Amino acid sequence: MVTAAMVAVVAIVAVVVLYLVYRGGSTAPDSAASGSGYPHVAGEPSVGAPAPAFTLNSGDGRPVSLNDYRGRTVLLYFQEGLSCQPCWDQIRDLEQNQSALRAAGVDAVVSITTDPATLIGRKAADERLTTPILSDPDLAVSRAYDANKYGMMGDMRDGHTFVLVGPDGTIQWRADYGGAPDYTMFLPTDKMLADLNTERIQ
């Protein structure tokens, strides 16, 4: 026979369970706020290592060197190129969030991919992008940064790698987002900055 005491106990247990479920749901955003929630790894060369030097042709035909950014903090964005529209959307999102990048201490963004410079230039013009996009057709720079291990196309193209190089040429932060099995090809700039601000070492 069900007594009033048993009903009260069941009601109390139900309230406690509901509270715990609610509390768990309400704390999830707080824990996710400390990072992007997007899975990533940090490949080699890693934080604290000298960033490999390079000089590559940009889409507008001019050579661009990492040394051109000495004394500034530059975010290198390795991406899959012409076949990856989300990668171009990523560049657009970075351009639209320049104030947030500056607030995070990022002075400049440079993108690197493996397509020919002329085709990159045409695509950038079509997309109305102003970010320097550099051509690395033989993957020499991509391999130096080990950025061609995280994409859907195997090691023949880059994945979705961000490398933050400090004013002294040292890597301050790195995140490789494009690896299997999720193959993240776009993440909002604020999510990327959440990881940068959490993981960066100066």
Distant-in-sequence contacts of 88-92, Cβ < 8 A, 24+ apart: 88/123, 88/127, 88/129, 89/186, 90/160, 90/185, 90/186, 90/187, 91/127, 91/129, 91/131, 91/133, 92/127, 92/129
Burial 130-148 (b: 16+ CB within 10 A, else e): ebbbbbbeebebbeebbbb
What are the residues whose beta carbons fall under 8 Å from the beta carbon of 63, sequence distance 6 or more?
55, 56, 57
The residue from 76, 84, 87, 165 that is catalytic is: 87
**β-pair partners for 77:** 111, 162
87 catalytic per annotation: yes
Active site residues: 87
